[in-house]
Every structure is written in C-alpha cells, then in structure tokens.
C-alpha cells in the first residue's frame, strides 16, 4: 500500500510563526496536489504541553537555540511552538486534510522531545505509528513536511529502520537549515532512501 506521511505542516513553522521555516508555506499546494495519488494519507502534529522541556522559556537563564544535554543527547532549546490548543499548533489553513485517515501527535511528554513521528528522541516510547502502518499493510512510505532537516529527517530515518521502503519528497518539504540539510540528504541516499519530487509520483 502506497502511503503519504505529512509531517508537522503547522502554523508555527510557517512564515510569521514562532519557529518559521524559510518559505515553509510554499509546500502546502504541493502536498495538496499529490494526496490523491496515495492509498493512505496520515499526518503527524507537534503537540507540546506549555511546560515542555524543549522550550527555552522553561529554562531560567537559557536562550532560544541554546543547547543542553538531555538523556545523554544534545537538546536544542526552541522558542515556544506548537503548544497544545494554540493557533500555532494548528495545521496550515490551506492544507487539505479531508483524505487523512489518522493524525499522530508527538512531543506530548513534557520530559522529552520527539522530532520523529515514530519515537521520542531517546527512543524510549513509540507513538504507535509504525504498528499502525504495518497493520494497514504499508510497504512504500512517502514522507514530506516541516522541517526537512529535523522532524522529516528523523521520521524518515526511523521509518527506514522500521523496514519501510522510504521516499523523501523534496519539493513538498523545506529545511530550517539549508546548508546542513545537504549533508543529511547524503546520509539518506547512503541508506538507500530515495529522494524524489512530486512530479515523480505516479
């Protein structure tokens, strides 16, 4: 079953949001144009409690984008974003959600961040996404969304490790750091993850 996974296309990651991805809004019409080509469409939604450990506002004396260590891994301290129940956490208003069968929320545990749609950053807890897709008989997984170098990259990496044939849709995604993402694309290609454009989808 050919499946599209749309990652975190939310207002806070758009121009004017609290953690904007450069030109993030330009992916919305691309994503809308490809959804009909898939048997199954699912999405993830960053959904943080206000006291989430990844938010710089919860660390006295710390600044946004400063790095701390958490569970032995580096943790960037982000501006408040995608806080549960806020407008910034909602999906972009022009995004067509009518074909979506399920939405998997992530980052809900205040004590650990969750870039991937499959696991938290410590791989301590699953979101249930992998089991859901496997039960549906998914073999090919096409991934897109925001930000390409963070949540989309970690989701793609985990999807590959879970045994799915992975396709990254480049023009339906935008990175926060364009230069850094060039190296991540090389890593994806090395693993055998195919980097494609929306026009390549049959």
Residue numbers annotated as active site = 8, 106, 151
Residues 6+ apart with CB under 8 A from 183: none
For 27, 65, 183, the CA distances from 76, given in Å and listed in that order, are: 25, 6, 19
Count CA atoms closer than 13 A to 18's CA, side-chain side: 18
* The two three-digit tokens of residue 161, written as one number: 């490790």
Cβ–Cβ contacts within 10 Å for residue 197, how many?
A: 11
Helices (H), the chain: 27-34, 129-135, 153-161, 178-191
Cβ–Cβ contacts within 10 Å for residue 190, how many?
A: 8
* The two three-digit tokens of residue 153, written as one number: 């990259």
């Amino acid at each position: 079953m050919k499946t599209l996974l749309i990652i975190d296309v939310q207002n806070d990651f758009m121009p004017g949001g609290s953690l904007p991805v450069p030109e993030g809004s330009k992916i919305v019409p691309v994503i809308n144009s490809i959804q009909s080509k898939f048997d199954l469409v699912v999405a993830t939604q960053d959904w943080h409690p206000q006291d989430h450990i990844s938010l710089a506002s919860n660390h006295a004396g710390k600044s946004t984008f400063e790095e701390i260590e958490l569970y032995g891994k580096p943790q960037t301290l982000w501006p408040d974003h995608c806080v549960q129940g806020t407008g910034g956490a909602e999906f972009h208003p022009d995004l067509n959600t009518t074909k979506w069968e399920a939405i998997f929320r992530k980052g809900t545990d205040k004590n650990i961040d969750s870039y991937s749609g499959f696991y938290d950053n410590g791989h301590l807890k699953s979101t249930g996404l992998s089991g859901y897709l496997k039960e549906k008989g998914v073999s090919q997984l096409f991934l897109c969304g925001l930000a390409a170098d963070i949540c989309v990259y970690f989701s793609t990496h985990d999807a590959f490790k879970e045994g799915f044939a992975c396709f990254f849709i480049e023009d339906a995604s935008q990175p926060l750091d364009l230069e850094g993402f060039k190296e991540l694309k090389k890593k994806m290609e090395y693993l055998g993850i195919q980097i494609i454009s929306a026009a390549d989808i049959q």
